[in-house]
């Protein structure tokens, strides 16, 4: 079996965040427009199989697509998809000078996902089965809220998440008022997590972490800039006692190893569309099991990467929650029930490979390139 063709689809799918204005301005949150940028790839083989993958593409869709097209595709045509781990290794080696974090690794992640989809299809098994499934349990989701920057909207959305059955809710806020509003809305029996997306210096983070300690956060996520300052992250963790989550801005096994050696985190958050795909994620699963660090994957997306995360979740007992982005896309690449189950319990779709292929009509409708 040989890779014969790689097709790249760039999509823009509008979404609503349920509350507030939908004017396209989101109060400083990194996603400035009300659309999901997606970069989906389809790898075809000479024996007629097709595998699907996706790269992280929010705000970098065109760049990552060009990276895949020009830097990666020429290096994988003619290769055997069953050698996915070797292909991943070779790509990382050949492209290392273009960055061990960011666009290049996002592109390699997309290829890796599509190749694992192909491996599963070739052996007539699910991705979970070919990578070492250990259990068959559904996974509890947590509601990952948008950044509203408004305490009333936070209150409303926390209430809405609880009404839908979520017991764990993550905010993306950076001021105390919104955190306080979330705790008022949630009471004491619902977990609140706070993802700040790297806004503070170490000193600022220490002050904020102490202020926030009264709200009993399950974790504080990425409080400092730059995110790879693991010494400072470790200081915040040890000086405040607040559990720290980080990792969506880390790439490859090596950065997680470094982070854990520094005792910087309680929760490791690899993102399968950024970190180097399923291949790299599996190494991080082993690392976290060995070091007794909890896994809490980053997965606020609706692409093949979300399905891959569900498959990976079945390969370790060290992963208890899955992130579900609490917004409503105008269209879904897969049946909506995968992302929005009434029970808030998530399972990979049954079937070979990732379980289901993307809806070609949705791709056709929202394709921009």
Site for Mg ion, rule CB under 5 A: 195, 248
Nearest CB to Mg ion, comparing residues 116 and 339: 339
**Least distance CB 172 / Mg ion (angstroms):** 7
Compute the Cα dihedral for 286, 291, 292, 294 and give only its sign. negative
**Least distance CB 236 / Mg ion (angstroms):** 16
Distance of CA 282 to the CA centre of its chain: 14
**Least distance CB 181 / Mg ion (angstroms):** 20
Radius of gyration, alpha carbons of the chain = 20
Nearest CB to Mg ion, comparing residues 178 and 195: 195
CB 92 within 8 A of CB 276: yes
Interhelix angle for 252-261 vs 230-240, to 10°? 40
Residue nearest to Mg ion (CB): 195
**Least distance CB 140 / Mg ion (angstroms):** 18
Distance in angstroms (rounded) separating the CA atoms of residues 65 and 85: 22
The alpha helices in 133-229, defined as continuous H runs, are 151-163, 176-186, 202-212
Residue 219: strand pairing partners: 193
Interior CA angle at 171 toward 312 and 14, to 5°?
A: 75
Nearest CB to Mg ion, comparing residues 272 and 362: 272
Nearest CB to Mg ion, comparing residues 37 and 248: 248
**Least distance CB 111 / Mg ion (angstroms):** 24
């Amino acid at each position: 079996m040989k890779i014969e063709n790689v097709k790249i689809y760039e999509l823009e799918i509008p979404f609503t965040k349920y509350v507030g204005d939908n004017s396209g301005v989101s109060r400083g949150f990194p996603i400035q427009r009300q659309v999901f940028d997606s970069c989906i790839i389809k790898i075809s083989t000479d024996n007629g199989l097709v595998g699907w993958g996706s790269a992280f593409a929010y705000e970098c869709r065109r760049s990552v697509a060009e990276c895949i097209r020009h830097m990666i595709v020429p290096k994988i045509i003619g290769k055997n998809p069953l050698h996915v781990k070797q292909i991943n290794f070779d790509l990382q080696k050949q492209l290392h000078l273009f960055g061990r974090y960011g666009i290049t690794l996002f592109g390699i992640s997309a290829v890796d996902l599509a190749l694992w989809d192909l491996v599963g299809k070739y052996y007539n098994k699910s991705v979970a089965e070919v990578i070492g499934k250990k259990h068959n349990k559904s996974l509890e989701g947590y509601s990952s809220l948008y950044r509203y920057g408004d305490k009333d909207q936070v209150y409303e959305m926390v209430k809405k998440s609880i009404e839908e059955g979520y017991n764990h809710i993550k905010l993306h806020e950076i001021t105390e008022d919104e955190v306080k509003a979330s705790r008022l809305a949630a009471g004491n029996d619902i977990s609140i997590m706070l993802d700040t997306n790297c806004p503070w210096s170490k000193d600022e983070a220490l002050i904020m972490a102490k202020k926030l300690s009264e709200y009993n956060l399950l974790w504080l996520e990425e409080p400092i800039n730059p995110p790879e300052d693991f010494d400072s992250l470790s200081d915040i963790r040890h000086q405040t006692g607040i559990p720290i989550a980080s990792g969506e801005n880390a790439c490859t096994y090596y950065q997680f190893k470094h982070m854990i050696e520094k005792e910087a985190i309680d929760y490791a958050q690899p993102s399968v569309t950024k970190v180097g795909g399923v291949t790299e994620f599996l190494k991080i699963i082993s690392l976290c099991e060995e070091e007794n660090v909890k896994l809490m994957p980053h997965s606020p997306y609706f692409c093949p990467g979300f399905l891959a995360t569900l498959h990976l979740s079945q390969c370790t007992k060290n992963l208890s929650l899955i992130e579900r982005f609490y917004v409503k896309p105008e269209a879904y690449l897969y049946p909506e029930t995968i992302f929005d189950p009434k029970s808030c319990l998530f399972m990979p779709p049954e079937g070979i490979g990732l379980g289901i292929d993307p809806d070609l009509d949705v791709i056709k409708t929202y394709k921009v390139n």
